[in-house]
Amino acid sequence: MLEIKNLNVHYGVIHALKDVSLTVDKGEIVTLIGANGAGKTTTLRTISGLIKATSGQVILEGKDITNLPAPQRVELGLSQVPEGRRIFPEMTVLENLELGAFLRKDKQGIKKDIEHIYELFPILGDRRKQTAGTLSGGEQQMLAIGRALMSKPRLLLLDEPSMGLAPLLVREIFEIIKNINSEGTTVLLVEQNASMALSIANRAYVLETGSIVITGTGEELMKSDRIQKAYLGG
């Protein structure tokens, strides 16, 4: 589905990603964990095309998209829930969802999918006419996920969906991510909440200061001493 080969990204003199390679297979949930500043967001933003890599390749379903602008990547089935939600606060919940479907032309399908998002997140249905900026943090996160789903992505990139949410809500969001995945969307999940992320992931990568240091299945990593110490507080 997605293959990243020897990706290097610089911010001026800062070498943020160093030869990062990873793959996500169709149908998987893959998680990328790591401490603050490790380069997780940078990785996702490079995949979605918001940042240009200095070298390396991003390949989506066999197609080299390294130099494709971000909007065209959405057309190819990539969708990102950005760090910090980045919903459009001055617009209503409904308008946010409609923007998620910006590239689609099937009016009926869009309508149906908006209803589907309201089923997934009933609170969004109740708030449909409200401006998104007035939603609570958790509701905004749901909206960000709902908006990303509106483009009918084949690969969904999520950047710390649990950030700032109460434990109960975190569990709910992860349940929903699992459901989205079982409905056929491949997921690449960036998280700091390592235990939650590893518990739902098929495979995981650990990023430390711009390099992948460990990789394995979710279970393997959960049992690893190094991960226990560094990320699971064990």
Ligand X SMILES: Nc1ncnc2c1ncn2[C@@H]1O[C@H](COP(=O)(O)OP(=O)(O)OP(=O)(O)O)[C@@H](O)[C@H]1O
The interface partner of residue 37, options being other proteins, Mg ion, ligand X, none and the CB cut-off 5 to 8 Å by kind, is ligand X
Q: Which stretch binds other proteins (CB under 8 A): 29-37, 71-79, 117-125, 210-218?
A: 71-79
Q: Cβ neighbours of residue 187 under 8 Å, at least 6 residues apart?
A: 28, 29, 30, 155, 156, 158, 177, 180, 181
> Of 6, 27, 64, 89, which lies in the binding site for other proteins, with binding defined by CB under 8 A?
89
The answer to whether residues 188 and 28 touch, using CB atoms and an 8 Å cutoff, is no
- Nearer of residues 41 and 185 to Mg ion, judged by Cβ: 41
Nearest approach in angstroms of CB 157 to ligand X is 12
Among 83, 98, 172, 208, interactor with Mg ion by CB under 5 A: 83
Helix (H, G, I), strand (E, B) or coil at 17: strand
CB nearer to other proteins: give 22 or 78: 78
Place of tokens 């919903």: 87
**With CB under 5 A as the contact rule, which of the stretches 33-41, 88-96, 122-130, 196-204 interacts with Mg ion?**
33-41
The least CB distance from residue 24 to ligand X, in Å, is: 18
Region from 32-40, 70-78, 133-141, 143-151 binding ligand X, contact rule CB under 6 A = 32-40
Give how many residues touch ligand X by CB under 6 A.
13
| C-alpha to C-alpha distance for 167 and 45, rounded to whole angstroms | 27
Angstrom distance (rounded) from CA 43 to CA 189? 11
Cβ atoms of residues 232 and 195 within 8 Å: yes
* Token pair listed for 15: 């070498």
Backbone angles phi, psi at 34, to 5 degrees: 165, 165
Q: Does 103 bind other proteins (CB under 8 A)?
A: yes
8 Å CB contact between 49 and 3: no
> Residue 70, SS3?
helix
Q: What is the per-residue burial (b if ≥16 Cβ within 10 Å, else e) of 187-200?
A: bbbbbbbbebbbeb
Q: Give which of 87, 151, 82 is closest to 117, Cα–Cα.
A: 151
Q: Does 80 bind Mg ion (CB under 5 A)?
A: no
Verify binding: residue 192, ligand X, rule CB under 6 A: yes
Site for other proteins in 175-234 (CB under 8 A): none
The residue ranges that bind other proteins (CB under 8 A) are: 48-50, 69-71, 74-75, 79-80, 82, 84, 86-91, 95, 98-100, 102-103, 147-148, 151
The residue ranges that bind ligand X (CB under 6 A) are: 11, 14, 16, 34, 36-42, 83, 192
